[in-house]
A and B are shown apart, each in its own frame.
Chain A
């Protein structure tokens, strides 16, 4: 274990090294630009991850679900067919659950559009049976059931739920990919900002660098000074941007939950997504240090 004297010595040496680049002059607007970019990157990443989770949840929810419709104008016959089909479906090994939708519930759902007439019984509303299939090979099972039900009555139709919501799932998926693309672009832009900042810092400290160089400082010794300075700027900017983005995400999350929508409340972030978001500012610091080192070493490489 290092003695207090040795530790103090190391601290003094580190402080002396850090003084070689004047504090504040490298910083300039870079931390604030990184904060803005980090804010947008974290929001985009959160949107991408949230939409991805929603699509996944929707897929898991809808996979294996279908609705059987019995389109029969005669109410008595419709009831009879519905009961026969429900019984047939319950006997099928690939059907895990059968839930005939009560006609009152159906009438209630269409009442906003058709008014009280919806419950009168005069309207030929199809009978519906929700079914849940055993996992796997949903399409093949639906196709087999379609044939089976058609044999019972040509007035029976079966529609897998995934088919209804496929365009929405596709849209959410596309939005998720768009968000991922934005994250990639923002990461590239952050790297470019750091490279420009490192170049500007290198140019503005040219005199100091030349003196250090001629005194025998190695390229790595000089690059470390910039790495540290720019790493600190990125840490400040990254932490600020991340904190602001986190606040916005939490506020938006509360608003989404308040809508009560099943679909919107599916846009949730699991803990792995939170961990991924937290890794973004750390990645930013790492990226900044690598970009600064690369830029300064490249510039120094042009000197003798």
Chain B
């Protein structure tokens, strides 16, 4: 008796789930997201989730979105495939480490469109996208140099990959442009998201006389460490003012919303193509949160630099770019380093007193 009624309930649930899934697939475009961290990290994954919600807001009933969070990079193929085989027409995989698995699944599901963030491998149904965060880092470098009393600024890096290294260089070049004798100290957290390690890294910097900290890790911990000591810092990925109202000078905000809405629209209109998108301040993929806790002249300088980068008048990697050992980097772009050179950057610029781990 018990077993029969249980079976009945289960069969009913199965039928319900199947019919609901079938009906939804016909009308709606299902869009899936794979996040490397928790949506509550207030950093990288959180901002992608803001973009997901923007899609829901823009298209309402025409779309349905799904996400899988904290997916380990070494075991992500299954999660990606599960999205592809459950009727998702567009799948965003939002961390570099998902590159090979996304490529493999994309080959198996030619009718599903994939978008991979920060990678470089594409396919007819696999596009890539990333943002020029280093543009924002040039601005915060200038602010840091102006706000530092000790003449030493700090940087908490996640991993010594090109994107992070380019960020440190841009930050330092910005700082040098207003104070040629500025010094920088770098500490590696070896994690994208580890509040305890990030806080330790920030404290180590503060103990060494650093009074302005920039970070390329995702939690507000370094910023909070600066706040606790009455020093300054910058928000990363999202506006972190609520965590450090006195310390946050500005934040480099990732804005995926416009891009995600545009790509969703392209799929709905049938105009989606596989391409590579690399947008910065001008494309609104990188946004500076309000400049605060600084004198008016510093704020004015920051705003002017932001405008100059937006208009294309200023490129953080304008030639000549000089390496640590004094050699000049070959200028492969138009008056500045080429995109490929920035995307594959594995050297420090002159003046950084640290050895790049490699």
Task: State whether these chains interact.
Answer: no
